[in-house]
Chain A
Amino acid sequence: MIARRDVYQAIADPTRRTIIGMIAAQPQNVNAIAEKFDVTRQAISLHLKVLTDCGLVVVKKQGRDHFCEAQLDKLSEVSAWVDQYRQHWENKLDALEIYLDKLKKEKYGNKKD
């Protein structure tokens, strides 16, 4: 099975979402990130690898440090999907609106108040 590497997989995990939140404002050292979690350094590295593979994080080497930088543009892909799903519900309300018009006509006919 080929591992899925897209923005959804990146943010499907709470730890990865927390990491993105941590580095959203400014890049952080890998060690500094790992220290904030109760899991092993390896586990964090793996999460960072997924985030990198998905294009949400870029790791930049500065001397002996590895800084993680968030690439937030990628997240707009998610909001585009959310917008489409929202549109589905907007459509439901469109249908309700049309139906209400029909109901009004049936109930009150065309008489003007």
Chain B
Amino acid sequence: METRKIDTSDRELLITRKLNAPVQLVWEAWTDPEHIANWWGPDGFTNTITKMDMRPGGEWNLVMHGPDGTDFDNKSIFKEIVPFKRIVYEHVSYPYILATIEFEDLGEQTLLKWHMLFESAEEFLKVVKTYKADKGLEQNVAKLDVYLSKMK
């Protein structure tokens, strides 16, 4: 006897971060394909954005190029766009994720709330289990180093 629960705690992830930039700039970095290609994706990957139609129903196609030359297609559909406030999109290629990104204007800073809802607890577990976190972390540190050296 299974009752449908509204509780989604077993299949969601919420990441919040206070970013040291005004909301206009954060919005720009998020919504301009040229900018987003510079920071999106797992570590060690580069990105090509072939389409980013930021309006409800609009498509977003992003190809991540892995360090070993493998390409990963990511297709999403935007559901809601509220400039400088909110982006909702559905990641329709695997794994299915409903993502909601909220931007909170804090003057010189911006509070970003990134919520990801998976289709089911089963899918969520599958994704976290198969995710090669340690490898990704290693690559990210390298990427961070490169960024930092550029900034000097």
Contacts and interface: CB of A to CB of B under 8 A. Distances in A.
Interface string B5-21: 00000100101010111
A103 B25 contact: yes
Contacts of B72: none
Dominant secondary structure of chain B at its interface with chain A: helix
Interface string B126-139: 01110101101100
B19 to A, nearest CB: 6
B125 interface: yes
Given A93-B17, A94-B144, A104-B21, A99 B35 contact: yes
Q: Which of A37, A78, A88 has the largest number of chain B CB atoms within 10 A?
A: A88
Contacts of B43: 91, 95
A74 interface: no
A92 B39 contact: yes
Contacts of A36: 1
Interface stretch (B55-63, B82-90, B114-122): B114-122
Nearest to A108: B25
A8 B29 contact: no
Dominant secondary structure of chain A at its interface with chain B: helix
B109 to A, nearest CB: 10
B151 A102 contact: yes
A33 B152 CA distance: 63
Contacts of A78: 125, 128
A8 B125 contact: yes
B2 A103 contact: no
Interface in A79-93: 81-82, 84-93
A100 B21 contact: yes
A93 B30 CA distance: 11
Contact of B112 (A11, A84, A93): A93
Interface of B: 1-2, 10, 13, 15, 17, 19-21, 25-26, 28-30, 35, 38-43, 112, 114, 116, 121-122, 125, 127-129, 131, 133-134, 136-137, 140, 143-144, 147-148, 150-151
- Closest 5 A-B residue pairs measured CB to CB? A84-B133, A95-B39, A85-B128, A99-B39, A100-B21
